[in-house]
Amino acid sequence: MGHFGGRPFDIQPLLRVRRADTGQWHDPEPLLWLDYRNRYYAPELPDGSRVYGTQPFGDGDQVRLEAGVALVKRQRDEPGAVELIEMSAGGDTVWHRRLQFEPRKLTSERAQAWVDERVALVADRRRASGFSMDEVRTAYDAALYRPEHLPAVTGPPVLTTSGEVWLRTAELSDTLRVHYVVRRGNVEDEPRRVLLPEWLRVSDATETHVWGIWWDSMDRPHVVGRRLLPQTDDG
């Protein structure tokens, strides 16, 4: 991310590290390279300090690591496209799927709302510092990555007990967040569309329920579940 004045990484390898029967470690082997450009931001504030965070509209590669599995998500080919690559601990590609969702433009209003939110946070925390909020706004404006289209999927993919991959999208249906669910190993069926509360961050799912985390007003995490129901004819 460029901490301590170093140059940020643009790409990083997904490494396999193995131990020989003798107990000696082999040299790490790059299996593939992850594109991390546009993943983070680091605006410099008027006092010379930096604020590090994740780009809200970043389209860099994401990886989910589970026991014996690495699932890589890529979405830089074209607007709305998502590529899933599942790799085994042996370094073999065991499943590859390309999905195409409806491209959605990043509006100037949405980008500006994010900048306004960040500036307000700085103003609240450093009111006594004498900062010029115009300078803070300029710093966040310059640090924000503004692609023409929103990334089709936000955050890393989630591998669930039900043998599926859950993908959180930028799409909203009224007040609900749209997720798409793909059966691992399947290369033909259309993804299943699931609507969940905006606050729910999916951690796992079974055939009948989805589970996630809810943070209360005291910033305490709670495990919550929701029953999965088919959409009715009347919506």
pLDDT digits 0-9 by tens, 147-191? 999 999 988 999 999 999 999 998 888 889 999 999 999 999 999
| Alpha carbon distances (Å) from 45 to 40, 71, 132, 140 | 16, 36, 10, 9
Confidence of residue 205 (pLDDT cuts 50, 70, 90): very high
pLDDT for the residue 51: 84
Between the alpha carbon of residue 85 and those of residues 10, 49, 90, the distances in Å are 20, 38, 14
Higher pLDDT, 66 or 124: 66
Q: Is the pLDDT of residue 200 over 80?
A: yes
- What pTM, to 2 d.p., does this model score? 0.85
The pLDDT of residue 126: 60
**Which has the minimum average pLDDT: 2-11, 57-66, 120-129, 130-139?**
120-129
Residue 69: per-residue pLDDT: 92
Give the position of tokens 């999208």: 169
Closest by CA position to 11, among listed 35, 29, 31: 35
E strand map for the chain = 11-16, 29-35, 40-41, 53-54, 62-66, 69-74, 81-88, 93-100, 153-159, 164-173, 176-183, 192-197, 201-205, 209-215, 221-227
pLDDT tier at 81, thresholds 50, 70, 90: very high
Q: Average per-residue pLDDT in the chain?
A: 89
pLDDT at 25: 94
pLDDT tens per residue, range 103-133:
999 999 999 999 999 888 877 666 556 667 8
For residue 225, the model assigns a pLDDT of 94
Q: How far is CA 130 from CA 47, 137, 138, 139, in A?
A: 10, 14, 16, 16
pLDDT tens digits, residue range 184-194?
Answer: 999 999 999 99
